[in-house]
């Protein structure tokens, strides 16, 4: 599928495709049957061209008219988007996703989806689509690849369809055409990964592209842009000249953290309070879920004021005295990043020592020898997630990682468990009971001057490792739309603000970083405060216990401590960070986990006291 075409060709093509798409269903089918060059096979490439090629250049006035009309009629689900071009780009994305569902091995379709994501300013999602295109192009060139035949056939059919629609453009499925597409993919990967802050990987793909096409002006410019970004990172001159060594460049950045416009799986949690309270009653009958107004941590209005959002909170149904357990919850959405630690695969409780009385309860899977603490955990795992992972050689994934990657490895293992749950239960990963109602601290973009980027992102943990996990599970990453980068990002956003973590029991030391984590959907509904009124413990099940004593606030000249216990109607406040950290470090944690500075009463008070002290 060539990437060059005259505007008048595109205009004529788009006009016909648009008219056909706007016809009633029955009439549309009749028209398709009458048409010899605008059949089902060739409509999709027409829309692809519109989605990527036209918008990459100046849009002719007649196309803009069609664009406005088409968006108004077709994109009803995006009416909340005021910008016409963005709305149309979202329509294009939908076209492309539908095409990829029908032709999952069509590499140019993934390239065009990447270009559409670029126009939508989702560099991370563009990198994911471009990487899929690269894998398919590799498959075309490698006749031993399992996708070689499918990718080659799809590429040929795409070129043939394009030739029927645009007779002025000559294309061939030869090495020159593959080289052209591969160069585009390397360019896309280099540019989008640079935009995500992954300079090391961006540099790698840029140099790969230049080896393939040394004369590419775009790649040469991209290489210079990457080097300039490295200089900005390290400074022009440093004692170690770090900016000259690409191997030392940063490979993690921040991307947009939001509920994507096409995400139809995110529920209106305020409408589902009855469901949530039934779930809460099962684990904490003295608590209830209610709506509460909270500051939007990463959002400010155009006049600089902090906005508020209505979210969920957990409240006491009755007075609760200090040192009472008020919640007990078990979850199978757990992860452990130590390969040899003796933990239950399901609930992550420490296994009893061999020979002890409790060791008789241990159950091992006959197929893969994965160990569970009890028959109950084995049975729950068999119904929830284990069949998708059994004997799939996934035990070593993201295990025993360097200290600086400990948290990221745990989040990726939570992702693996979620994917296995979705596959075993035959549902979408965002529709799981364990993930559906978790709030991802998504940024509210309705009234912000600049789109915030608060979700940590790396090419490894957000793209290549999840794809590797899926391949280990024998899931086709091209043919399964429910397993895509935007889904991974949404789950990561949910996990980063809600997962609990601890050291494992066998020789655990703080310097090793977190080694076990879990997501408990009811536990994490309690909002964070650096002055919580409950503490939590986790070992197989997680509990809330009202604190015997509240945290002491530290000011420049005075201190403060609230009364322990929780009164009827009072909000239950949890905590997700080290409460002994100073306010600046707690807020630094919140920016990564919650998407913005913590605005709890203690943080606001201590921050004000700190400002007074610094005057």
| Model pLDDT for residues 515-566, shown as the tens digit of each residue | 889 999 999 999 999 999 999 888 778 999 999 999 998 876 678 888 999 9
According to DSSP H, which parts of 433-534 are helical?
433-436, 459, 465-472, 485-498
In this predicted structure, what is the pLDDT of residue 357? 83
Residue 569 neighbours by CB distance under 10 Å: 12
- 574-577-578 Cα angle (round to 5): 115
pLDDT band for position 202 (cuts 50, 70, 90): very high
Q: Which of 104-118, 206-220, 280-294 has the lowest mean pLDDT?
A: 104-118
Q: Which of 107-111, 375-379, 522-526, 547-551 has the lowest mean pLDDT?
A: 107-111
375 close to 363: Cβ distance less than 8 angstroms: yes
In this predicted structure, what is the pLDDT of residue 4? 37
Cβ neighbors of 5 (< 8 A, separation 6 or more) are: 49, 53, 166, 168, 169
Q: List, in sequence order, every residue forming a beta bridge with 212; answer none if it has no partner.
A: none
Taking residues 10-36, what's their average pLDDT?
A: 38
pLDDT band for position 82 (cuts 50, 70, 90): confident
596 close to 257: Cβ distance less than 8 angstroms: no
Has residue 12 got a pLDDT over 60?
A: no
Has residue 595 got a pLDDT over 80?
A: no
Q: Return d(Cα 438, Cα 197) in angstroms, integer.
A: 27
Taking residues 450-475, what's their average pLDDT?
A: 94
Q: List, in sequence order, every residue forming a beta bridge with 343; answer none if it has no partner.
A: 350
pLDDT digits (tens, 9 = 90+) for 237-255: 554 455 578 888 999 999 9
pLDDT digits (tens, 9 = 90+) for 561-571: 889 999 999 99
84 close to 71: Cβ distance less than 8 angstroms: yes
In this predicted structure, what is the pLDDT of residue 263? 95
Taking residues 5-31, what's their average pLDDT?
A: 39
Q: What is the mean pLDDT of the chain?
A: 82
Looking at the chain, the whole-number percentage of residues with pLDDT higher than 70 is 78
At CB < 8 A and 24+ separation, what contacts does 36-43 make?
A: 37/164, 37/165, 38/165, 41/157, 41/161, 42/161, 42/164, 42/165, 43/17
Taking residues 457-471, what's their average pLDDT?
A: 97
């Amino acid at each position: 599928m060539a990437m060059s075409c005259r505007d008048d060709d595109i205009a004529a093509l788009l006009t016909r495709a648009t008219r056909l798409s706007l016809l009633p269903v029955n009439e549309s089918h009749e028209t398709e049957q009458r048409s010899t060059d605008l059949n089902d096979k060739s409509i999709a490439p027409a829309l692809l061209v519109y989605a990527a090629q036209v918008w990459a250049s100046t849009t002719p006035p007649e196309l803009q008219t069609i664009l406005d009309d088409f968006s108004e009629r077709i994109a009803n689900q995006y009416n909340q988007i005021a910008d016409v071009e963005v709305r149309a780009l979202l329509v294009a994305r939908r076209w492309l996703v539908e095409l990829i569902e029908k032709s999952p091995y069509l590499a140019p379709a993934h390239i065009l989806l990447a270009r559409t994501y670029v126009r939508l300013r989702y560099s991370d999602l563009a990198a994911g689509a471009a990487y899929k295109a690269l894998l398919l192009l590799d498959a075309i060139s490698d006749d031993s690849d399992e996708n070689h035949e499918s990718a080659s056939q799809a590429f040929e059919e795409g070129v043939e369809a394009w030739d029927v629609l645009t007779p002025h453009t000559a294309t061939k499925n030869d090495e020159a055409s593959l080289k052209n597409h591969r160069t585009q993919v390397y360019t896309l990967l280099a540019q989008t990964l640079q935009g995500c802050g992954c300079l090391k990987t961006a540099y790698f793909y840029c140099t790969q592209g230049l080896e393939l096409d040394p004369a590419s002006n775009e790649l040469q410019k991209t290489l210079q842009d990457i080097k300039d970004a490295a200089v900005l990172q390290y400074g022009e001159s440093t004692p170690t000249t770090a900016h000259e060594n690409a191997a030392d460049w940063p490979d993690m950045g921040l991307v947009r953290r939001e509920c994507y416009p096409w995400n139809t799986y995110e529920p209106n949690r305020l409408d589902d309070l009855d469901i949530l309270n039934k779930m809460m009653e099962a684990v904490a009958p003295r608590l209830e879920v209610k709506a509460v107004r909270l500051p939007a941590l990463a959002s400010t209005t155009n006049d600089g004021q902090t906005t508020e959002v209505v979210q969920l909170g957990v409240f006491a149904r009755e007075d609760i005295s200090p040192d009472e357990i008020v919640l007990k919850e078990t979850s199978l959405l757990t992860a452990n990043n130590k390969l040899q630690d003796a933990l239950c695969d399901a609930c992550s409780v420490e296994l009893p020592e061999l020979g002890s009385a409790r060791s008789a309860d241990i159950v091992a899977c006959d197929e893969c020898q994965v160990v569970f603490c009890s028959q109950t955990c084995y049975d729950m795992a068999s119904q929830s997630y284990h069949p998708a992972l059994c004997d799939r050689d996934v035990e070593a994934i993201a295990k025993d990682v360097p200290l600086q990657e400990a948290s990221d490895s745990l989040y990726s293992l939570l992702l693996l468990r979620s994917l296995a749950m979705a596959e075993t239960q035959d549902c979408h990963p965002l529709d799981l009971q364990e993930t559906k109602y978790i709030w991802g601290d998504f940024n509210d973009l309705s009234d912000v001057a600049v789109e915030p980027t608060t979700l940590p992102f790396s090419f490894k943990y957000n793209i290549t490792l999840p794809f590797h996990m899926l391949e280990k599970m024998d899931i086709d990453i091209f043919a399964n739309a429910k397993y895509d980068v935007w889904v991974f990002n949404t789950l990561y956003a949910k996990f980063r603000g809600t997962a609990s973590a601890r050291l494992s029991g066998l020789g655990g030391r703080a310097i090793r970083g977190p080694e076990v984590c879990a997501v408990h959907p009811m536990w994490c509904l309690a909002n964070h405060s650096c002055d919580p009124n409950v503490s939590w413990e986790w070992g197989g099940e997680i509990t809330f216990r009202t604190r015997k004593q509240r945290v002491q606030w530290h000011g420049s000249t005075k201190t403060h401590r609230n009364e322990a216990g929780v009164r009827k109607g009072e909000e239950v406040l949890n905590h997700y960070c080290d409460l002994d950290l100073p306010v600046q470090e707690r807020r630094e944690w919140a920016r990564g986990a919650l998407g913005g500075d913590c605005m709890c009463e203690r943080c606001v008070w201590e921050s004000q006291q700190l400002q007074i002290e610094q005057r």
